[in-house]
Chains A and B, each alone.
Chain A
Amino acid sequence: MELSKILDLGQTALELGLVNSLTVLALFLSYSMLNVCDLSTDGCFTLGAVVGAVVAISGHPLLSIPAAMLAGSVSGLVTATLQTRMGVQSLLAGIVVNSALYSVNMAISGNKAQLAMNKTETVFTMAKRLLAGTPLSGAYRLIVELIAVCLIVLFLSAFLKTKLGLSIRATGSNADMVRSSSINPVFTTTVGLCISNSFTALSGCLMAQQGKSYDINLGSGMVTVALASLLIGGVFFGRSGVTLRAVGAVVGAFLFRVIYAVALRFKMPGFMLKAVSAVIVVIAISGPYLREQGKLLLRRRRSGREAGVC
């Protein structure tokens, strides 16, 4: 393969990785910090995409970003309220919101499963015009995404060290301790989910605008893809400070895309993406468990053999 082609592939992997990494950062906050597996991620990603698309199509490309993030945080608020104030189990709350979001998304798009944005002014087309003629003109997508990802990583690394951020982390680590520190875990969980879902929606918004099209299925399987990326990132930065771990989440998203791109080169059909991510999630989560079980099995065998000798 020629160099330019590799570079091309690398750039695509980087672009998609960066967009996805925003969802990975959302899960970094909800899953790694708050210890909540937010299964509304798929629907929320699509929600961000459709809100961003509708607002951009109506002629407000810049407004589309905060609009999508706001929609996402409202969705997070609903998920959080269900699980903290209405007695719905955490996983179920996410699932319920996720399926409700399908209807919401269809309603927002005016009962259309797709929206085309070929001629729509988006943050990407704006960046393209701004950079026209400069040496960076070919990388306008990359630049928009890099800015978004950097802002979010910087925000997270600062936020997680504030009292609120620390309380959110403590809620995931030991909710009893939070309560005895006079902090209401209901509040920290709610704030955490609102913020994380706004990232997920931002991710979806940028994904749709970058691809110039919205599809109701844009977000399906996102939670697995993002979780896989998060766990890959955790392999490298799992034990570091929060900033490095957030960077690790972004690296994980990129590596996931690279693995996927390579698999495609080896003639893996595109529809395998979700199976691959599912397998990665299973390996990453059950790996340590199976290793322990394997050790036990070995010990049992060995002691059985020794008993036989006696």
Chain B
Amino acid sequence: MLKLSHLDKTFNPGTADAKRALCDLSLHVNPGDFISIIGANGAGKSTLFNAICGSFFTDSGTILLGGEDITMQPEHVRARQIGRLFQDPMRGTAPDMTIEENLAVAAGMRTWLSRVTSKDRRAFRDRLATLGMGLEDRMSQRVGLLSGGQRQALTLLMATYNPPRLLLLDEHTAALDPGTAEKVLAITRQTVEQYSITCLMITHNMQSALDLGNRTIMMDDGRIIYDVSGEERSSLTIHDLTARFRDARGRELDNDRMLLGNV
């Protein structure tokens, strides 16, 4: 499904600030996988997502998605197959436009000169209703007026309106209050299952890293240091994870939010 081979990326090469953010990283994602990704601050988790999405091109290595080589494809072309959500709920929507207009852009109408028809509008309404946030009755309101949780739920709907092959979730519930985060996570789960989207999710919540999905990978220093699924994963505890990290890296896992949140 998604095959990353020997990805390498160095920021500011040749300067004192040079940082090798991805080191010979390879990963094979199977169709239907839901992988949770954990790792210390600066481990390269978001960089990995940026590389997959095409926010920048990697220095070397190849990215295959569904058999197609997308290594040098520009970001907006890859976006046809890849949906992405960020931690910041503001990043996925256009605040100056209405909910309906945002959905219209995301849904992608037939031709450049197509307008939103009443049929489109009904479809938007139906999909919005599945979020259970009452947004279907506020379609003509500006998105800037919505709360963070509502915007993130809307972003999720927009990213999956035409179900992508791959969905990348970059701590997409971390900026929300616990109740809303729970709700957005439930919607995420439901959407991913309904359209059987392959999904990678970065999280700092080690418990949900183990609870959600079928596979967990741990990153450090631009590498994947632990990749677990199946039997072994189902018996893992948070304690095992931190121990794993210590064994692999010879130091403690230093993600503040992780430690404060869970251990």
In the assembled complex, the Cα of A185 lies from the Cα of B105 at a distance in Å of 12
A111 proximal to B (CB < 8 A): no
Interfacial residues, chain B to chain A (CB-CB below 8 A) = 74-77, 79-80, 83-84, 90-97, 101-102, 104-106, 108-109, 111-116, 158-159
Q: Which residues of A contact B159 (CB under 8 A)?
A: 180
Chain A residues within 8 Å of B84, by CB: 180
6 cross-chain CB contacts under 8 A: A162-B115, A177-B91, A177-B94, A180-B76, A182-B80, A184-B74
CA distance A197 to B116 in the complex (A): 27
Residue contact A183 to B76, C-beta cutoff 8 Å = yes
Q: Do B79 and A163 touch (CB < 8 A)? A: no
Look across to chain B and name the residue whose beta carbon is closest to the beta carbon of A174: B94
Binds B, one of A22-30, A97-105, A112-120, A164-172: A164-172
A181 at the interface (CB under 8 A from B): yes
The answer for the CA separation of A93 and B221 in the assembled complex, in Å, is 40
Which chain B positions have C-beta within 8 A of A170? 94, 97, 101-102, 105
B92 contact set on A, CB distance < 8 A:
174, 176-177, 180
A167–B106 alpha-carbon span in the complex (Å)? 9
Decide if A178 touches B105 in the complex (CB within 8 Å). Answer: yes
Binding site for B on A (CB under 8 A): 161-164, 166-167, 169-170, 172-174, 176-185
Closest CB in chain B relative to A96 CB, distance in Å: 26
- Cα of A118 to Cα of B40 in the assembled complex, Å: 76
What CA separation (Å) do A266 and B104 show in the bound complex? 51
- Give every chain B residue within 8 A of A181 (Cβ-Cβ): 79, 105-106, 108, 158
- Flag if B101 contacts A169 (CB, 8 Å): yes
Assuming the A-B contacts A178-B105, A181-B108, are A163 and B94 also in contact, with contact meaning beta carbons closer than 8 angstroms in the complex? no
The answer on a CB contact under 8 Å between A166 and B105 is yes
A178 to B102, CA, bound (A): 10
Q: Note all chain A residues with C-beta closer than 8 A to B97.
A: 166, 169-170, 173
Contact of B75 among A169, A173, A179 (CB under 8 A): A179
Q: What's the minimum C-beta distance from B141 to chain A, rounded to whole angstroms?
A: 12
Query: Do A182 and B96 touch across chains, with their CB atoms under 8 A apart?
Result: no
Q: How far is the CB of B225 from chain A (nearest CB, A)?
A: 30
- A164 CB contacts on chain B under 8 angstroms: 112-113
Contacts of B109 in A (CB 8 A): 163
A18 to B11, CA, bound (A): 53
Q: Which residue of B lies closest to A172 (CB)?
A: B96
CB-CB nearest in chain B for A164 = B112
Bound-state Cα–Cα, A177 to B91, Å: 7
What is the bound-complex CA distance between A167 and B114, given in angstroms?
A: 12
Chain A hits for B116, CB < 8 A = 161
Q: How far is the CA of A176 from the CA of B85 in the complex (A)?
A: 11
Q: Is the pair B106, A163 in contact by a Cβ cutoff of 8 Å?
A: no
Q: Which residues of B are found within 8 Å of A162, using beta-carbon distances?
A: 112-115
With A and B bound together, what is the CA distance between A173 and B74 in angstroms?
Answer: 21
Query: B79 contacts which chain A residues (CB < 8 A)?
Result: 179-182
Which residues from B are CB-within-8-Å of A163?
104-105, 108-109, 111-115
Contact partners of A169 in chain B: CB under 8 A: 94, 96-97, 101
Residue among A163, A169, A184, A185 with the highest chain B CB neighbour number at 10 A: A163
User: CA A166 – CA B109 in complex, angstroms?
Assistant: 11
- The docked-state distance in angstroms from the alpha carbon of A161 to that of B91 is 22
Per the bound structure, the CA–CA distance linking A172 and B97 in Å amounts to 10
Q: How far is the CA of A184 from the CA of B73 in the complex (A)?
A: 12
Q: Is the CB of A176 within 8 A of B91?
A: yes
Structural contact, A174 and B95, CB atoms closer than 8 A: yes
Evaluate whether A166 and B83 lie within 8 angstroms (CB atoms) in the complex, with A173-B94, A184-B74 already known: no
Knowing A162-B112, A163-B111, A183-B105 are in contact, say whether A173-B95 is a contact too (CB < 8 A): yes
Q: Chain A: which residue is nearest B53 at the CB level?
A: A180
Q: For A185, what are the chain B residues with a Cβ–Cβ distance below 8 Å? A: 76
Q: How far is the CB of A85 from chain B (nearest CB, A)?
A: 12
Q: Give the CA-CA distance A39 to B95 in the complex, in Å.
A: 26
